Amino acid sequence: TVDRWKMSAAGANTTLTQSQTAITSGDPFDAGFRNVYKIVNAGQNANTQGYVFMMHNIEAQNIAQSGWDYTSTSSYLTLSFWVKANVTQTYLFTIHMPDSSTLQEWNHLISLSDNVWKKVTITVPGKSTIAIDNDNGVGFQFILCPYLGSHYTSGSTVDQWVNHAGYTSRPDMGATWWSTSSAEINLTGVQIEVGSEATPFEHRSYADEL
Protein backbone atom coordinates (compact mmCIF):
# COMPACT_ATOMS: atom_id res chain seq x y z
CA THR A 1 0.00 0.00 0.00
CA VAL A 2 2.46 2.64 1.21
CA ASP A 3 6.22 2.14 1.65
CA ARG A 4 7.20 1.26 5.24
CA TRP A 5 3.58 1.35 6.42
CA LYS A 6 1.63 -1.73 7.41
CA MET A 7 -1.56 -2.92 9.06
CA SER A 8 -1.26 -5.24 12.02
CA ALA A 9 -4.31 -7.08 13.34
CA ALA A 10 -5.42 -10.06 15.41
CA GLY A 11 -8.62 -11.49 16.84
CA ALA A 12 -10.73 -10.60 13.80
CA ASN A 13 -13.40 -12.99 12.52
CA THR A 14 -14.10 -11.13 9.26
CA THR A 15 -12.09 -9.11 6.75
CA LEU A 16 -9.86 -6.12 7.45
CA THR A 17 -8.39 -4.58 4.31
CA GLN A 18 -5.74 -1.92 3.75
CA SER A 19 -5.30 0.25 0.68
CA GLN A 20 -3.84 3.42 -0.77
CA THR A 21 -6.91 5.36 -1.92
CA ALA A 22 -7.35 8.62 -3.84
CA ILE A 23 -9.26 11.53 -2.30
CA THR A 24 -11.01 14.27 -4.27
CA SER A 25 -12.22 16.69 -1.58
CA GLY A 26 -11.88 17.73 2.04
CA ASP A 27 -9.38 19.76 4.06
CA PRO A 28 -6.37 17.51 3.27
CA PHE A 29 -7.21 17.69 -0.45
CA ASP A 30 -7.28 21.48 -0.21
CA ALA A 31 -3.85 21.30 1.47
CA GLY A 32 -2.41 19.40 -1.50
CA PHE A 33 -2.83 15.74 -0.54
CA ARG A 34 -4.27 13.32 -3.08
CA ASN A 35 -4.06 9.92 -1.40
CA VAL A 36 -4.77 8.35 1.98
CA TYR A 37 -3.76 5.15 3.70
CA LYS A 38 -7.04 3.43 4.55
CA ILE A 39 -8.22 0.45 6.59
CA VAL A 40 -11.76 -0.87 6.05
CA ASN A 41 -13.41 -3.18 8.58
CA ALA A 42 -16.16 -5.66 7.65
CA GLY A 43 -17.39 -5.68 11.27
CA GLN A 44 -16.03 -8.00 13.96
CA ASN A 45 -17.46 -9.99 16.83
CA ALA A 46 -16.74 -8.55 20.28
CA ASN A 47 -13.23 -9.53 21.34
CA THR A 48 -11.33 -7.77 24.11
CA GLN A 49 -8.11 -9.35 22.82
CA GLY A 50 -8.64 -8.15 19.27
CA TYR A 51 -6.77 -5.23 17.75
CA VAL A 52 -5.96 -3.46 14.51
CA PHE A 53 -3.57 -0.58 13.88
CA MET A 54 -1.54 1.29 11.28
CA MET A 55 2.19 1.28 11.94
CA HIS A 56 5.17 3.12 10.49
CA ASN A 57 8.70 2.15 11.54
CA ILE A 58 11.56 4.65 11.30
CA GLU A 59 15.19 3.52 11.32
CA ALA A 60 16.95 4.39 14.56
CA GLN A 61 19.80 6.22 12.79
CA ASN A 62 17.34 8.64 11.18
CA ILE A 63 16.02 9.68 14.59
CA ALA A 64 19.45 9.61 16.27
CA GLN A 65 20.88 11.96 13.61
CA SER A 66 17.81 14.19 13.28
CA GLY A 67 18.97 16.86 15.73
CA TRP A 68 16.40 15.93 18.38
CA ASP A 69 18.12 15.72 21.78
CA TYR A 70 15.86 12.87 22.86
CA THR A 71 17.28 12.70 26.40
CA SER A 72 16.50 16.37 27.13
CA THR A 73 13.12 17.50 28.42
CA SER A 74 13.67 20.88 26.72
CA SER A 75 14.14 19.39 23.24
CA TYR A 76 11.03 18.53 21.24
CA LEU A 77 9.77 16.39 18.39
CA THR A 78 6.50 17.41 16.68
CA LEU A 79 4.20 15.07 14.77
CA SER A 80 1.35 16.26 12.58
CA PHE A 81 -1.13 14.35 10.43
CA TRP A 82 -4.68 14.29 9.06
CA VAL A 83 -7.06 11.52 10.18
CA LYS A 84 -10.71 10.71 9.47
CA ALA A 85 -13.01 7.85 10.46
CA ASN A 86 -16.67 7.14 9.77
CA VAL A 87 -17.33 6.00 13.34
CA THR A 88 -17.54 8.53 16.18
CA GLN A 89 -15.34 7.44 19.09
CA THR A 90 -11.93 8.02 20.70
CA TYR A 91 -8.96 6.60 18.80
CA LEU A 92 -5.49 5.85 20.17
CA PHE A 93 -2.19 7.16 18.85
CA THR A 94 1.06 5.79 20.28
CA ILE A 95 4.74 6.59 19.84
CA HIS A 96 6.83 3.58 20.82
CA MET A 97 10.60 3.73 21.35
CA PRO A 98 11.88 0.13 21.12
CA ASP A 99 15.59 0.84 21.73
CA SER A 100 15.11 2.05 25.32
CA SER A 101 15.92 -0.51 28.01
CA THR A 102 12.74 0.51 29.81
CA LEU A 103 10.61 0.71 26.68
CA GLN A 104 9.16 4.20 26.42
CA GLU A 105 5.87 5.17 24.83
CA TRP A 106 3.71 8.26 24.48
CA ASN A 107 -0.06 7.81 24.19
CA HIS A 108 -2.58 10.33 22.92
CA LEU A 109 -6.37 9.93 22.55
CA ILE A 110 -8.04 11.45 19.48
CA SER A 111 -11.78 12.18 19.45
CA LEU A 112 -13.18 11.86 15.93
CA SER A 113 -16.66 12.59 14.64
CA ASP A 114 -18.28 10.65 11.79
CA ASN A 115 -16.54 11.49 8.48
CA VAL A 116 -14.90 14.70 9.71
CA TRP A 117 -11.21 15.22 8.91
CA LYS A 118 -9.10 16.26 11.91
CA LYS A 119 -5.63 17.78 11.84
CA VAL A 120 -3.69 16.35 14.79
CA THR A 121 -0.50 17.95 16.13
CA ILE A 122 1.43 16.33 18.97
CA THR A 123 4.61 17.78 20.50
CA VAL A 124 6.70 15.53 22.74
CA PRO A 125 9.78 16.36 24.83
CA GLY A 126 12.78 14.15 25.30
CA LYS A 127 13.27 12.03 28.40
CA SER A 128 16.45 10.88 30.10
CA THR A 129 15.51 7.18 29.85
CA ILE A 130 15.00 7.22 26.06
CA ALA A 131 17.72 5.45 24.06
CA ILE A 132 18.07 5.33 20.27
CA ASP A 133 20.71 3.19 18.57
CA ASN A 134 22.61 4.67 15.64
CA ASP A 135 21.81 1.81 13.27
CA ASN A 136 19.22 0.67 10.74
CA GLY A 137 17.05 -1.16 13.26
CA VAL A 138 13.66 0.19 14.32
CA GLY A 139 14.14 3.20 16.58
CA PHE A 140 10.72 4.87 16.42
CA GLN A 141 7.23 3.50 15.83
CA PHE A 142 4.19 5.55 14.80
CA ILE A 143 1.02 3.60 15.72
CA LEU A 144 -2.59 4.63 15.05
CA CYS A 145 -5.25 2.32 16.52
CA PRO A 146 -8.90 2.32 15.49
CA TYR A 147 -9.27 -0.54 17.95
CA LEU A 148 -7.16 -1.94 20.76
CA GLY A 149 -9.11 -4.32 23.00
CA SER A 150 -9.40 -3.70 26.72
CA HIS A 151 -7.15 -6.71 27.40
CA TYR A 152 -4.27 -4.46 26.27
CA THR A 153 -5.31 -1.18 27.90
CA SER A 154 -5.73 0.20 31.38
CA GLY A 155 -6.68 3.58 32.80
CA SER A 156 -6.38 7.01 31.22
CA THR A 157 -2.75 8.16 31.35
CA VAL A 158 -2.03 10.20 28.22
CA ASP A 159 0.32 12.87 26.85
CA GLN A 160 3.38 11.87 28.87
CA TRP A 161 6.14 9.31 28.55
CA VAL A 162 5.40 6.04 30.33
CA ASN A 163 7.16 2.70 30.66
CA HIS A 164 5.65 0.19 28.26
CA ALA A 165 4.15 -2.58 30.41
CA GLY A 166 2.57 -5.42 28.48
CA TYR A 167 0.34 -2.96 26.64
CA THR A 168 -1.60 -2.19 29.83
CA SER A 169 0.29 1.10 29.94
CA ARG A 170 -1.97 2.24 27.11
CA PRO A 171 -5.20 4.06 27.97
CA ASP A 172 -8.70 2.72 27.35
CA MET A 173 -10.18 3.79 24.02
CA GLY A 174 -13.42 3.47 22.07
CA ALA A 175 -14.65 0.07 20.89
CA THR A 176 -17.48 0.87 18.44
CA TRP A 177 -15.27 0.88 15.30
CA TRP A 178 -14.34 -2.79 15.79
CA SER A 179 -17.89 -4.11 15.59
CA THR A 180 -19.18 -1.71 12.91
CA SER A 181 -19.59 -3.02 9.36
CA SER A 182 -17.81 -0.93 6.70
CA ALA A 183 -15.96 1.08 9.37
CA GLU A 184 -13.06 3.06 7.90
CA ILE A 185 -10.06 4.99 9.11
CA ASN A 186 -8.04 7.25 6.78
CA LEU A 187 -4.62 8.79 7.34
CA THR A 188 -2.58 11.26 5.30
CA GLY A 189 -0.10 14.12 5.57
CA VAL A 190 2.12 12.59 8.24
CA GLN A 191 5.12 14.75 9.11
CA ILE A 192 7.64 14.30 11.93
CA GLU A 193 10.06 17.14 12.62
CA VAL A 194 12.43 18.47 15.24
CA GLY A 195 11.12 21.42 17.22
CA SER A 196 8.06 22.46 19.19
CA GLU A 197 5.98 23.77 16.26
CA ALA A 198 4.50 22.03 13.23
CA THR A 199 5.51 23.63 9.95
CA PRO A 200 3.63 23.35 6.64
CA PHE A 201 3.93 19.92 5.03
CA GLU A 202 6.78 19.69 2.52
CA HIS A 203 5.27 18.45 -0.75
CA ARG A 204 8.43 17.17 -2.40
CA SER A 205 8.60 15.21 -5.63
CA TYR A 206 10.18 11.79 -5.76
CA ALA A 207 13.15 13.28 -7.64
CA ASP A 208 13.64 16.03 -5.04
CA GLU A 209 13.49 13.53 -2.19
CA LEU A 210 15.94 11.20 -3.93
pLDDT reported for residue 166: 81
pLDDT reported for residue 133: 97
Distance CA 122, CA 209 (A): 25
pLDDT reported for residue 38: 98
Distance CA 70, CA 83 (A): 26
- pLDDT by residue for the chain (210 residues), tens only, comes to 888 899 999 999 999 999 999 999 999 999 999 999 999 999 999 999 999 999 999 999 999 999 999 999 999 999 999 999 999 999 999 999 999 999 999 999 999 999 999 999 999 999 999 999 999 999 999 999 999 999 999 989 999 999 998 888 999 999 999 999 999 999 999 999 999 999 999 898 889 989
pLDDT reported for residue 79: 98
Contacts of the segment 61-68: beta carbons below 8 A, 24+ positions apart: 61/133, 61/134, 61/135, 61/136, 61/139, 62/139, 62/140, 63/132, 63/139, 63/140, 64/132, 64/133, 64/134, 64/139, 65/134, 66/194, 67/194, 68/126, 68/194
pLDDT reported for residue 3: 85
